[in-house]
């Protein structure tokens, strides 16, 4: 450090060398940081300089500046590995003083493979996770009660799903026990999948006057014997309560 100190040596090369020495001392003088650096050396990066350059075996530590930045608190390409920076921090788990090499692989988002089934089912190693596939949401089933008039004329009804209220239209002419489908109101899809559908089972209340046969409304019309013999015009009320005149032949 004294030999290459900027006060004693004004060259650019000396300045860079002094930075290397300072950074190396900051790392290796700390027991924990030294252990992390030894783990990198065991991984095959032996002799790597902290601020770039080639080490033993031709390895270029500069290409892995982001790794050191992650380990020692600096961002990728930082001149010194101090506190802060953008690098993602990693944890080294060690037993008996020997660093766990799998922690190094975890920096790249994958595992080291290794024994005991690591990486099973994946061609990319133990830590690789395939992208989640879209899954459509499940369908829901619900029941709704309608009056006879609503079943005949159709109706707008209020429903709720997942705590959210919404309105839907029940078409005219539905029958008791019939199911209608409401698209997209089932359970939510996952990972971009489509929502499921909502199936409504119709329950129609009985009416004392009217019944439905296919698409026809049926009612009993009481008449007298005289009206039946001579014929007559008889009035009655429809499902809306309006008067309708029937001609008895």
Neighbours of 216 (CB within 10 A): 7
Q: Assign domain 140-206 one CATH number from 2.60.260.20, 3.90.1150.10, 1.20.1260.10, 2.30.30.240.
A: 2.60.260.20
Neighbours of 69 (CB within 10 A): 21
Give strand ranges (E) for the chain. 94-95, 98-99, 140-146, 155-161, 164-170, 179-182, 198-204, 210-213, 216-219, 232-237, 243-248
Backbone angles phi, psi at 246, to 5 degrees: -110, 140
CA distance 190 to 213: 43
Residue 200 makes CB contacts below 8 A (sequence gap 6+) with 142, 143, 144, 159, 170, 179, 180, 181, 182
Share of the chain above pLDDT 90, in %: 38
Contact 87, 96 (CB under 8 A): no
| pLDDT band for position 126 (cuts 50, 70, 90) | low
Tell which residue, 147, 203, 200, has the closest CA to residue 175: 203
pLDDT digits (tens, 9 = 90+) for 143-173: 999 999 999 999 999 998 888 899 999 999 9
Share of the chain above pLDDT 70, in %: 64
DSSP string for residues in 106-127:
GGGTS----STTTTTT-TT-TT
What is the model's pLDDT at position 40?
A: 72
CA distances (Å), origin 91, targets 39, 84, 196: 12, 16, 42
Q: What residue segments make up the domains of the chain, in order of their start?
A: 12-89, 140-206, 217-248
pLDDT digits (tens, 9 = 90+) for 174-189: 999 999 999 999 999 9
As a whole number of Å, the end-to-end CA separation of the chain is 122
pLDDT over threshold 70, residue 136: yes
What is the model's pLDDT at position 149?
A: 94
pLDDT digits (tens, 9 = 90+) for 51-69: 444 444 444 445 445 555 5
Residue 186 makes CB contacts below 8 A (sequence gap 6+) with 137, 138, 139, 140, 161, 195, 196, 197, 198
CA distance 201 to 174: 10
Q: Name the pairing type of β-strands 140-146 and 198-204.
A: parallel
pLDDT digits (tens, 9 = 90+) for 195-248: 999 999 999 999 999 998 888 999 999 999 999 999 999 999 999 999 999 999
DSSP secondary structure letter of residue 242: -
pLDDT digits (tens, 9 = 90+) for 94-121: 444 454 545 544 544 544 444 444 444 5
Taking all residues of the chain, what is their mean pLDDT, rounded to a whole number? 74
pLDDT over threshold 60, residue 125: no
């Amino acid at each position: 450090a004294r030999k290459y100190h900027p006060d004693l040596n004004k060259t650019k090369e000396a300045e860079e060398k002094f930075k290397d020495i300072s950074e190396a001392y900051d790392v290796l003088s700390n027991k924990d940081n030294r252990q992390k650096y030894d783990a990198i050396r065991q991984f095959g990066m032996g002799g790597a300089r902290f601020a770039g350059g080639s080490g033993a075996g031709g390895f270029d530590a500069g290409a892995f500046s982001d790794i050191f930045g992650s380990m020692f608190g600096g961002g990728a390409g930082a001149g010194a590995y101090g506190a802060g920076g953008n690098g993602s921090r990693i944890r080294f788990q060690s037993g008996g003083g020997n660093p766990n090499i799998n922690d190094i692989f975890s920096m790249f988002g994958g595992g080291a493979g290794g024994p005991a089934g690591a990486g099973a089912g994946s061609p990319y190693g133990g830590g690789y996770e395939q992208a989640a596939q879209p899954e459509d949401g499940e369908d829901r089933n619900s029941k709704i009660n309608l009056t006879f008039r609503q079943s005949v004329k159709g109706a707008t009804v209020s429903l709720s799903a997942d705590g959210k209220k919404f309105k839907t239209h029940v078409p005219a002419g539905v029958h008791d026990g019939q199911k209608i489908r409401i698209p997209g109101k089932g359970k939510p899809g996952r990972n971009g999948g489509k929502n499921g559908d909502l199936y409504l089972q119709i329950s129609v209340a009985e009416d004392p006057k009217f019944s439905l046969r296919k698409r026809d409304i049926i009612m009993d019309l009481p008449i007298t014997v005289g009206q039946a013999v001579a014929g007559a015009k008889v009035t009655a009320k429809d499902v809306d309560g309006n008067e309708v005149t029937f001609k008895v032949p």
